[in-house]
Amino acid sequence: MISTVLVEHPWMTTTALVVLVVLGPLAGAWLVRRPRVTRVLLGLSLVPVAMLTLVPTSRELDAGCAVEWSVPTLGAVELMANVVLFAPLVLLAGVLTRRPVAALLAASALSALIELVQALVPALGRSCSTNDWLSNTLGAVLGAALAGVALWLGSRLNGVSEAALLHDQQ
């Protein structure tokens, strides 16, 4: 169903990607000093990942995995959707833990685990594809880069805020 919506409205994934790239670092910088909020948002970002990858569908598939290696483009809506799916997750995890690279590696491993489950449990009706893992991992790379920018911005903004507070107290 989500695939149908995305195919009918291909601009949605591109728009989501642009919004994420523009607003992600700003939101991340704001979240640097708000770990509780970040933790809640991180938990919420796992919901679509679980819903779109592990909730059973009515399709019956054979066990196995399609081995394909296509780099996502703006025209490849499903692959771009996989990029957009994992980028916020890693952005939030990177900001929360202050370790964007560790968040990237964990997300790539999570994606591989999801694909393994899809391959071994055909009753889910989900297709295992190396393209999905690649797209999810590219989304994780984007999320890690955005988290790095957010952490840098957060340190600059918080440094200015603390300096301003010290100046006002004198």
pLDDT for 89-113, tens place per residue?
999 999 999 999 999 999 999 999 9
Residue, of 158 and 117, whose pLDDT is higher = 117
What pLDDT, on a 0 to 100 scale, did the predictor assign at position 79? Answer: 76
What pLDDT, on a 0 to 100 scale, did the predictor assign at position 77? Answer: 65
Confidence check: pLDDT of 4 > 70: no
Distances (CA, A) of 132 to 8, 9, 56, 71, 128: 20, 20, 17, 10, 8
- DSSP state string for 76-137: -HHHHHHHHHHHHHHHHHHHHHT-HHHHHHHHHHHHHHHHHHHHH-GGG---EEHHHHHHHH
The pLDDT confidence band at residue 61, using thresholds 50, 70 and 90, is low
What pTM was computed for the model?
Answer: 0.84
The percent of residues in the chain predicted with pLDDT above 70, rounded, is 80
Element (H, E) at 155: helix 130-169
Residues in the chain: 170
Burial of 71 (0-12, 13-18, 19+ CB in 10 A): exposed
Segment 56-63 mean pLDDT: 70
Domain boundaries, the chain: 2-169
Over the chain, what is the mean pLDDT?
A: 84
Residue, of 30 and 71, whose pLDDT is higher = 30
Burial of 26 (0-12, 13-18, 19+ CB in 10 A): middle
CA distance 58 to 60: 7
